[in-house]
Every structure is written in structure tokens, then in C-alpha cells.
Amino acid sequence: MQGSTPSGILRCWMIGAVMALAPSCLAALETTLTAPGAPKELVERLEETSSVATAENRGLDTPLEILSAALSDYRTLVQILYDEGYFSPVVSIKLDGQEAAELSSLSVPSQINRAVITIETGPTFKFGTATIQPLAPNTELPEQFAPGKLATTGAIQEAASAGVQGWRDAGHAKASVAGQKVIARHAQAQLDAQINLDPDRRLTFGRMFIDGDTDVRHRSIEKIAGFPSGEVYSPAQIQKVGTRLRRTGTFNVVSLQERETANPDGTLDFDATFEDLPKRRLTFGVELASRDGVDVTATWTHRNMFRRAERLRFEAAVRNIGGAEDIDGRIGLRLDQPDRLGPDDATFWSTLLERRNTENYDVTVASLAYGARRTFSDQLYAEASAGFQWSDADDAYGNGRKFRYFILPFRSEWDKRDSKISATRGFYLDSQVMPFVGFSGSDTGLRLYFDGRAYTSFGTAGNLVLAGRVQLGSVIGPPADGVTPDFLFFSGGAGTVRGQPFESLGIPVGTGTAGGKSFLGFSGEVRGRVTESLSLVGFYDYGIVDTSSFVGSGAEDHAGAGIGVRYDLGGFGPLRLDLAVPVQGDTGDGLQFYIGIGQAF
């Protein structure tokens, strides 16, 4: 080699080696996918799933990566076709004219510029036979898994899962698929599917072993959980145990895992793993009304204070900041104790100190109560308590009036809404019944209050929502002047009739206004979504207050109507702005506005 030197040869060899080792960079890979006769939705799904068709988005830019993607696509695309009922497909993936399956990863082309995917789906198959055995009583199989129905791998998988779940629901925790036989008869375009199940033996619950980083005492966890040791195994029971523990608000993670093998005596043990939430939580809320000013609320929650999963909640509110009346507020404290009674029961202590300054009355209230709460489901609970309430009031009936009561409040809440912060369907019912026994000269009676709400979206997926609300209140027994004013009923304001001043409707007494012994309120809203985050609302509110325990024909009434805007803040609920005016009655005039977070009801 004339003119060559050892150093020149070495330099050329190094340049060649670097070029050989450097990955080849591609221009944009040109890809096409065709499936003659296939539905448009199927073609789109194939294109979205194919690694080759989405190579650029996946960052695949070397020949080896493109080849690997093509080889994996054969299985991926065929599986999608099986899922749609095509059991005789032909899939071709050509890279620069060569079938990818015939290329070797040891001799990859230096460059790949074009990928052509051609799919012949063949006919759709139907089930010839579709059997699964043995089945537990009352097992419901998917309708699609039956002779004559479109045959898909999804239908087979769903049938197998339903069969296993049927046995598990019957107490056979270790039921499984023993085997399956699937035969494609291409000439008839039919698929014969046979699934064999192994129920295994029926088991009972054994013990729950507690693990994980939790500060809650194990005895309290066991009391709250109500683990059903000795009962026949049931997945629903395990779900209920988990729900009871999560309901305490103490745990961030609750995991109940059944052990792989049962005990020789036919019992099945579970491992329970926990992770605690932070012990303290602080929240704030603000609401603004044109006449009533700003209301500020705050809550402070301490979880697991005494290591028994209890929850101490401190609530404070300051109201009428900048409003027409003097500033007032409340301080409340509640301690929930979930491990004192049974697994679905809890006890609680509550105390309240409140000052209310309104146009019609001023009252200072203090109360102390002890009670129990029963949770029937995630949607329904009831609680009852016994305690004392002291009230000192100045109102239309006189100043310095004192009321002393032994109270027995009962409350139930049934919540079937699809969302607590912005419901589009379902209903909500809050029922309150409170007998009160007067002492130190106070009268005895009964106070009732009901709040019912219903929602429907007319099948529009929440784009158009009709919401309605009915409120009903009554005081039975003593005369109106023999009851503390905070037991009586007024109407007007954001919680009853928008467009009318807060608690502006009552019963005329001399030159003042007192609360009525009965109240009936109606509210209706039409909510229409304009964009994903923005909604417009039209509403009408109507309220009646009467002197008797039940609303009659001669009762005082008023109404308000207006429009509103909602801006969705995600998990916080919608930001609400309502503009309302009086449309009936003489308790107010002019525009009222309300700003807050969450729907009006």
C-alpha cells in the first residue's frame, strides 16, 4: 500500500469502527396500515396500538428498534383482532419490501425508510358452543358468552372470571380455571369454547394478622374491623372490613390480602397492612354575600390522638365581616371514637359555643352532648345523642330571655348523589328530629327539619342538569314566644331564598320580626355546561314561614330568582357566583350576589 503509514492505517480503522458502531439515524419513517373491509373504529385501534405505526411518538429511531417493534406487532395486532371476533386474520408487516418476520436481528439493514402493514381480517366468528362448568348457584355469565353471539377473547375471559367469582362468592376462595379448550372452525366461521373450573373446597375466615407502619393499637383495629373469623368466606365481607377501617379517616392505605394457601382446618388467614395518614389536617373556607359580608371558616383535625383511630375535629367560623350586622361566629369541637361499640358503630362527644347577631335577634348558644352513630352503608347513617343546651336571647319577644333544655337530637343522612360537591344525578335526604325537655322554666317540645334534594341530567352525561330541593321545618308543642329563636324558622339568604336578605322573612311581632314555628322552602336550578370547566345556572327559590306548627294557606311567603356561573376547580368543586333579585314578597329589593365554593345545594 504505497503512501500508507502505520498511523494513517490506524486512523482510518478508528474512523471506520466509529461509523460502524454509531446507530443509523432515520429520516421520518413512512408507515401505512390498511385493513380492507374492517370497520373504521377497528382500523383506528390497530393504528393507535401498533408500535411501528407509532414509532415516532415512541422514540423508536434505529433499524434495530423498528425491527423489534415490527416483530412484537404481529402478536399485538392478532390479539386485537381476536378481541374483535376475527379468528382467521393474516397480518403482513413489510420493512422496505421485506417481511419483518423473515429478517434476522443479527443482520439488520443499515436503514429502514418505509413500513407497510397489511391486514386481512377474515370473517367474524360466532360461538358454536360456549360452555363453562361446573357453575356455582346464582352465577351470572356475560350475555355475550353464548352460542350464536359474536365470539371474542374478551367474552371468554369475562365468562371465566364470572365463573370463578361465582364460586368465591359461595365461599370457595381458591376457585380457579382448571383448563380451557378453544377450537376455531374456519369453514363455518365458528368458535367452540369450553372452560373447566376447579371450585376447590369451601373455606371459612381464619385470623387477621396486622402488619405495616401504624400507630393505631391493634386491639382498636380489630374492634373497628369486625373481622368475621369463623364465618364462611365471602369477598363482600372483606370489602366491608376494608370500608370500616377506611371510614375512620385515619389510614392512607388499608390492604387486606388473603394468604396463598388455606389452613388444614379449612380456614383462610388474611394479612392486613396499614399506612397512617398525617395526624393533623387544616382546612379553610370563604363565602361572600352582598349584604351579609364575608364568612370565614376553618377546621383543624387531629387523627388518632389517643392511638385508637379517634378523630378530634375543631371548627371555627367568623361571620358578617363587613356585613350589615355585628360580627358573630362559632366554635365547635367533636371527638369521634370508632372503637367503643361495634364495627359499624361509633360514639362521639360534641360541644358548641355560638353567637348569632341577625337583624331580628341576637342569641348566645352553648351545648354539650354525647351520642352514638350507626353506619348502615356508605350512603346511609344515623346518629342520636343526649345533652344540654343553654340559650340567652334578645328578640322581638323581649331581651335577656333564657332557655335551658335537655335535648335528644336524632339525625339520619341518606346520600345517593353521584358527587357530593357537584351532583348530576341521584338524591340526598337529611332528616333531623329533636325532642327538647325544658327546665328552669323553659317549655318542652319537638323540633323537626327535613332537607331533600334530587338531581337528573336527562341522559346528557351531566351537560344539562335539573336540580330540585325541598326544605321542611316544624316546632311542635310550645308557643313561638316560648322557644329559643335559634329553634324557630326564618327564610331568606343563600341557604333558603336567594335574592332576599338573610332571614328577612319571619312573623311580625310588634315592631319586630320573630321566627315562625314552621317553614317550607322550594328551590330549582337548571345547570347547563358551556365548556368543560364553565357552566351557567338559572334558579328560582321560594320560602314560606307560618305561626303554626304546619304551614297553612295564610302564611307569609317570598321568592327570588336569578342566574349564576360555575367554574370547575376540580376536586375542590365549582367556584360559584350567583346574582339574584326578589320576585315576590316585600322583604327585600335590589340585586343580591353570592360567592362561594361548591353548588348552592
**Cα separation of 426 and 419, whole Å?**
9
Confidence band (pLDDT; 50, 70, 90) for 288?
A: confident
**Cα separation of 360 and 354, whole Å?**
16
Average pLDDT of the chain?
Answer: 91
pLDDT at 410 over 50: yes
- Write down the pLDDT at residue 18: 33
Burial class of residue 496 (count of CB atoms within 10 Å of its CB; 0-12, 13-18, 19+)? buried
pLDDT, mean of residues 490-519: 93
State the DSSP H helix or E strand holding residue 20, giving kind and residue range, or none if neither.
helix 6-21
Cell of 132: 363453562
- Write down the pLDDT at residue 553: 84
- Write down the pLDDT at residue 466: 97
**Cα separation of 136 and 84, whole Å?**
29
At residue 508's C-alpha, the angle toward residues 510 and 473, to 5°, is 140
- Write down the pLDDT at residue 22: 37
Residue with cell 341521584: 426
pLDDT at 208 over 60: yes
Nearest to 357 by CA among 557, 502, 547, 475: 502
Higher pLDDT, 532 or 386: 386
Are 390 and 438 in contact by the 8 Å Cβ rule? The answer is no
- Write down the pLDDT at residue 24: 43
> Can you name the residues that pair with 383 across neighbouring β-strands?
373, 411
**Cα separation of 363 and 326, whole Å?**
12
pLDDT, mean of residues 75-82: 96
- Write down the pLDDT at residue 123: 95
pLDDT, mean of residues 191-210: 96
**Cα separation of 469 and 458, whole Å?**
17
Higher pLDDT, 459 or 9: 459
- Write down the pLDDT at residue 547: 94
Q: What is the DSSP letter of 458?
A: T
**Cα separation of 138 and 120, whole Å?**
41
Which pLDDT tens digit goes with each residue over 93-150? 999 999 999 998 788 888 899 999 999 999 999 999 999 999 999 999 999 999 999 9
Q: Please report the beta strands in 461-573, taking only residues with DSSP state E, as ranges in sequence order.
A: 464-476, 507-509, 512-514, 518-529, 534-546, 556-568
Confidence band (pLDDT; 50, 70, 90) for 13?
A: very low
pLDDT at 9 over 70: no
Q: Do the bridges between strand 126-133 and strand 190-198 make them parallel or antiparallel, or are there none, so unpaired?
A: parallel
Which pLDDT tens digit goes with each residue over 458-497? 989 889 999 999 999 999 999 999 999 999 999 999 999 9
Are 190 and 128 in contact by the 8 Å Cβ rule? The answer is yes
Share of the chain above pLDDT 90, in %: 82
Distances in whole angstroms, Cα of residue 392 to Cα of each of 140, 355, 360, 399: 63, 10, 14, 9
- What's the residue count for the chain? 601
- Write down the pLDDT at residue 108: 86
CA dihedral 451, 452, 456, 462 (to 10 degrees): 30
**In angstroms, what is the C-alpha Rg of the chain?**
35
Are 110 and 63 in contact by the 8 Å Cβ rule? The answer is yes
pLDDT at 403 over 60: yes
pLDDT at 5 over 70: no
Confidence band (pLDDT; 50, 70, 90) for 322?
A: confident
253-269: b (≥16 Cβ within 10 Å) or e: ebebebeeebeeeeebb
Share of the chain above pLDDT 70, in %: 96
pLDDT at 359 over 60: yes
Q: Do the bridges between strand 251-258 and strand 204-213 make them parallel or antiparallel, or are there none, so unpaired?
A: unpaired
- Write down the pLDDT at residue 130: 96
pLDDT at 21 over 50: no
Longest distance between any two alpha carbons in the chain, whole Å:
127
Are 164 and 132 in contact by the 8 Å Cβ rule? The answer is no
Are 594 and 494 in contact by the 8 Å Cβ rule? The answer is yes
- Write down the pLDDT at residue 27: 57
Cell of 106: 443479527
Distances in whole angstroms, Cα of residue 577 to Cα of each of 265, 581, 596: 64, 14, 7
pLDDT, mean of residues 301-322: 93
Within 211-285, residue ranges assigned H as helices are 218-225, 235-247
Which pLDDT tens digit goes with each residue over 214-270? 999 999 999 999 999 999 999 999 999 999 999 999 999 999 999 999 999 999 999
Cell of 10: 490506524
pLDDT at 568 over 50: yes
**Cα separation of 583 and 540, whole Å?**
9
Q: What is the DSSP letter of 102?
A: G
